[in-house]
Amino acid sequence: MGPEATVDLYREILACTPARRDQDHFPVLIYSCPSIPDRSRAILEGGDDPLPYLVEAARVLERGGARMIAMPCNTAHYFLPAMRERVQLPILDMIAETLAALRRRLPDIRTAGLLAATGTVRSRIYAHTFAEQGLRVIAPVDRDQERVQAAIAQVKAGGHDRATRETLQSIGAGLIEAGAEAVILGCTEIPLAFDERSVPYATVNATRELARAAVAWAHGERD
């Protein structure tokens, strides 16, 4: 997984934990394992299967004493059903959390736009989950999707800049013009190069929703 995205998830967890001192935070075991084979490539081109690596990473956390897993990679959620069959610990579902957050905020929403890695878009993991609740997911046209994928690669290489941000934000605006009522930041690299406060449309940050779900779980507010 992208290590910057891993850090971003933990930052989001800290941001939604009320704390005045170290001891107010709950313990988190983070396995930053960037060597997991490329999830998009596996889905799109049949590259190395990341599943055994994802399962082994979950077991590292299990051996370390973790009791629940949050996985900061949207694309990896394509492998979630198979992981759940192979791993004892509960694993949160980032896609379902994002959908729930969107429906809390915009109860009448029918169409969501998706900014995500090409593997996430093509595998239709968002489209399937959303369709179960009657929502439609629209993605950028091919040429724009290529630009989104290039922006994600820039973030992973630590080379994103203002132009990267403007690209993502304007492709998001295009999704709104195409009928989306909100835009999903559906790749954990995207929030690192996207300023949600500066766009005039509704957004939902999948990383933040995963963090909220993890904090709620740690506080005993859910199974």
Question: So which residues are the catalytic ones?
Answer: 73, 187
Residues contributing to the site for a copy of itself (CB under 8 A) = 1-4, 7, 10-11, 14, 19-38, 60-61, 63-65, 153, 156-158
The phi and psi torsions of 47 (rounded to 5 degrees) equal -70, -170
CA angle, residues 105, 67, 20, in degrees to nearest 5: 65
- The amino acid at residue 113 is G
CB of 10 to a copy of itself, least distance (A): 6
Comparison of 117 and 185: residue with beta carbon closer to a copy of itself: 117
CB 83 within 8 Å of CB 54: yes
CB of 84 to a copy of itself, least distance (A): 21
Comparison of 107 and 220: residue with beta carbon closer to a copy of itself: 220
| CA gap 93, 62 in Å, rounded | 18
CB of 15 to a copy of itself, least distance (A): 8
First to last CA, the chain: 26
Comparison of 37 and 174: residue with beta carbon closer to a copy of itself: 37
| CA gap 49, 38 in Å, rounded | 8
